[in-house]
């Protein structure tokens, strides 16, 4: 197999995360077994069998989550040996750690990790199935939270005054939008009032790119304990530029070229509130059981 582990992130389970030729993520059962503390693969095979049975009982197709393969391992002096392995999906890993030896300390860590990550993937799938307007409402709400966290990290770095924050914000947009500042994006979207915020006129794809920019800048500022507003500005710019580069490499549309939705977030919120209120209003044909009356 030519696949290489992706760059290690926070968790040791991220460090052995792999991506195949089609861009699908997977974990090697042999690598996962070693990480979980199994000295020999044959002892881990019992947990795999239990996990496959759990997968079957859950109504999932076992071959979709457990792909039995063979690979080559080095034995020294150039010699290699063919060995069996299993490519595991995230869900398969979740089932595996649930059926692994609970006496091993890292198994408990794995149970927490894959439970959280599996639920996160479920939420992502649920979000993808929503209509565009619902996605925008959810992502705009998340953007507000992530911006607040980013501003707190920026303040710790030395971004203090309103002017500082305006400059800091512009640096992120300049990186992500290929040189455009917030006011430039505002004009490009055809917004005429200062009260109209550009984030309220972004589609879900554009909001997603900005969420990635905000969360990664926040993480970098905190992780590297960056100090000084100039360094904070440069960090925001670099992260924005990197997100733009990633979009380009994936063949995506640059954020400034994405269409501007006709309806603002505020209009969507009003429509959603009306829909909820209408749903709550009793129908003329509702039975009066709640009032204790008899028909």
Q: What predicted TM-score, i.e. pTM, was given to this entire model?
A: 0.58
More confident residue, 100 or 54: 54
Q: What is the mean pLDDT of residues 69-90?
A: 79
Going through 36-92 in order, the beta strands assigned E by DSSP cover 66-76, 79-88
Give the pLDDT band (50/70/90) at residue 102: confident
Q: Tens digits of per-residue pLDDT, 141-186? A: 989 999 999 999 999 999 999 999 999 999 999 999 999 999 999 9
Q: Residue 98 CB: number of other CB atoms within 10 A?
A: 17
Is the pLDDT at 121 greater than 60, yes or no? yes
Q: Tens digits of per-residue pLDDT, 7-44? A: 434 578 888 888 888 888 899 999 999 998 888 888 89
CA–CA dist 187, 30 (Å, integer): 55
More confident residue, 106 or 27: 27
Give the pLDDT band (50/70/90) at residue 273: confident
């Amino acid at each position: 197999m030519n696949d290489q582990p992706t760059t290690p992130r926070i968790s040791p389970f991220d460090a052995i995360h792999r991506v195949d030729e089609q861009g699908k993520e997977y974990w090697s059962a042999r690598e996962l077994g070693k990480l979980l503390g199994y000295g020999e693969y044959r002892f881990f095979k019992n947990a795999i069998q239990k996990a496959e049975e759990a997968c079957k009982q859950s109504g999932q197709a076992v071959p979709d989550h457990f792909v039995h393969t063979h690979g080559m391992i080095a034995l020294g002096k150039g010699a290699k040996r063919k060995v069996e392995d299993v490519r595991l999906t995230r869900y398969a890993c979740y089932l595996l750690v649930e059926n692994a030896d609970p006496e091993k300390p890292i198994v408990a860590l794995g149970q927490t990790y894959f439970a959280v990550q599996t639920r996160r993937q479920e939420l992502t799938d649920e979000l993808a199935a929503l209509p565009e307007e619902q996605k925008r409402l959810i992502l705009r709400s998340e953007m507000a939270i992530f911006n607040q966290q980013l501003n707190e990290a920026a303040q710790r770095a030395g971004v203090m005054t309103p002017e500082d924050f305006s400059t800091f914000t512009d640096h992120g947009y300049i990186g992500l939008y290929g040189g455009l500042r917030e006011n430039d994006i505002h004009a490009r979207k055809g917004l005429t009032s200062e009260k109209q915020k550009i984030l309220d006129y972004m589609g879900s794809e554009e909001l997603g790119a900005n969420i990635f920019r905000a969360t990664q800048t926040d993480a970098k500022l905190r992780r590297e304990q960056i100090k000084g507003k100039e360094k904070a500005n440069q960090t925001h710019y670099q992260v924005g530029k990197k997100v733009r580069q990633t979009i380009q490499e994936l063949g995506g549309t640059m954020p400034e070229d994405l269409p501007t939705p006709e309806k603002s977030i505020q209009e969507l919120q009003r429509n959603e509130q009306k829909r909820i209120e209408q749903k709550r209003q009793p129908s003329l044909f509702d039975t009066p059981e709640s009032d204790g009356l008899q028909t």
